[in-house]
Amino acid sequence: MDPLLVSHLALWFVVVLLLVAVLALARQVGVLHERVAPMGALMMDTGPKVGDTAPRLDLVGLGGEAVAVGAPSGPVSTLLIFLSPTCPVCRKLLPLLRSLRDAERRHLSVVLASDGSPAEHLVYRKKQAIEDLPYVLSTELGMTFRVAKLPYAVLIDGGGIVRAKGLVNSREQLESLLTAQELGVASIQDYLKRAS
């Protein structure tokens, strides 16, 4: 046999083996993805429960605008994000919040919440370029929702009902709150428990 033909056949044999190996690995990745379910925002069982009417608070934002939390808002849900200027994870979430707000603009408004010195938060707001997001300082708001760790989010629907809440450290966890509202469950973990 011609050595060139033998090398061609050997190369084709190797290519077929590699194709089979890639298909086997792709199947295993799919199986692993099904076994390891995505985790949503970690819900803490304090404060107003999912399904309860959110306490209504009429607050004033850092820009002097009126911000009503828990008030009926028609078809627009409110995503209330508790953060701190000293929280590095909160800082990483800000661009995600802006893009989520822009993508869901017709159905979602985002309100940032914290407490402390207005001067510190005004500097933080300007440095992070988040002047376009309502930002309220209220110790009462944090105590009402029993916020113990940051960043924490509460999703309130247009009727003033708490639909989802939890610690959020990534875009997936933020989106899990919206998904929980769409599915009519308290959290993604609750949905997975019901499905099993």
- Confidence bin at 40 (pLDDT 50/70/90): low
Q: Is 176 helix (H, G, I), strand (E, B) or coil?
A: helix
Neighbours of 4 (CB within 10 A): 8
Asked whether residue 42 is domain-assigned, the answer is no
Q: Is 50 helix (H, G, I), strand (E, B) or coil?
A: coil
Asked whether residue 164 is domain-assigned, the answer is yes
pLDDT in tens, 113-151: 999 999 999 999 999 999 999 999 999 999 999 998 899
Q: Say if strands 152-156 and 162-167 run parallel, antiparallel, or are unpaired.
A: antiparallel
Asked if residues 113 and 178 have their Cβ atoms less than 8 Å apart, the reply is: no
pLDDT in tens, 70-117: 988 889 999 999 999 999 999 999 999 989 889 988 999 999 999 999
- Calpha distance 188→2 (Å, rounded): 62
Mean pLDDT of 39-65: 84
Q: Do residue 27 and residue 64 come from a single domain?
A: no
Asked whether residue 47 is domain-assigned, the answer is no
Under DSSP, the state recorded for 186 is S
Asked whether residue 49 is domain-assigned, the answer is no
CATH number at residue 162: 3.40.30.10
Q: Do residue 112 and residue 75 come from a single domain?
A: yes
- Calpha distance 170→42 (Å, rounded): 11
What's the number of domains the chain is made of? 2
Asked whether residue 8 is domain-assigned, the answer is yes
Radius of gyration, alpha carbons of the chain: 24
Q: Do residue 113 and residue 187 come from a single domain?
A: yes
pTM given for the model: 0.76
- Give the distance from CA 71 to its chain's centroid: 22
